[in-house]
Structure 1
Amino acid sequence: MAKNGQPGNGRIGAVKERSQFKGPNGNWVKRDAETGRFMDQKTSSPKPFKGVRKEK
C-alpha cells in the first residue's frame, strides 16, 4: 500500500524559467521566461503563485 511522504518535502527554491506579474484585472498571470507566452492566470485567490519570481 502507498504511503504519504514526509511533510514539507515539496519544492526547493524558485520555479525556473517562469515569472509572474499582476494583470490589469487584478489577477496574477504566470509567464514563460523563454517564449514570453502567458501560461496561467490565478483566479482562486488574490495571493501570487508560490515560488515564481515577480516581474518589475
Structure 2
Amino acid sequence: MAKNGTPGDGHRNGMVKDRSQTYNPKTETWTKRDADSGRFMDGKKDGKPFKGVRKEK
C-alpha cells in the first residue's frame, strides 16, 4: 500500500491546487496558469508538461 511519507521530506504528494496548464503549439511549450486570476505564471522550455498540474482542454 502507498504511503504519503513524512512532512518536510522535500516533495509534494498529490496535485497542485488552483493551477492549470495549457499547451502552446506555436512555441511548443507548456504554460502554467493561475485558476483564480487567470494569469499565466510560468513556462517550460523542455516541451514536457508540469508534474501534478491539471491540463486544460
Scaled by the length of structure 1, the TM-score of the pair is 0.78
What percent identity do the matched residue pairs reach? Answer: 58
**Which residue of structure 1 lines up, in the alignment, with residue 37 of structure 2?**
35
Q: Which runs of 5+ in 2 are unaligned?
A: 1-8
Q: How far did 1:55 drift?
A: 0.3
Given residue 53 of structure 2, which amino acid in structure 1 is its aligned partner? V
Larger radius of gyration: 1
> 1:7-46, aligned counterparts within 5 Å?
10-23=11-24, 24-43=26-45, 45-46=46-47
CA RMSD of aligned residues (A): 1.9
Distance 1:30 1:38 in 2: 6
What whole-Å deviation, never above 9, does each CA across 1:3-54 have from its counterpart, x for those lacking one? xxxxx761110000000010131100000000000000111x1210111000
Distance 1:19 1:40 in 2: 11
Q: Which runs of 4+ in 1 moved over 6 A?
A: none
Scaled by the length of structure 2, the TM-score of the pair is 0.76
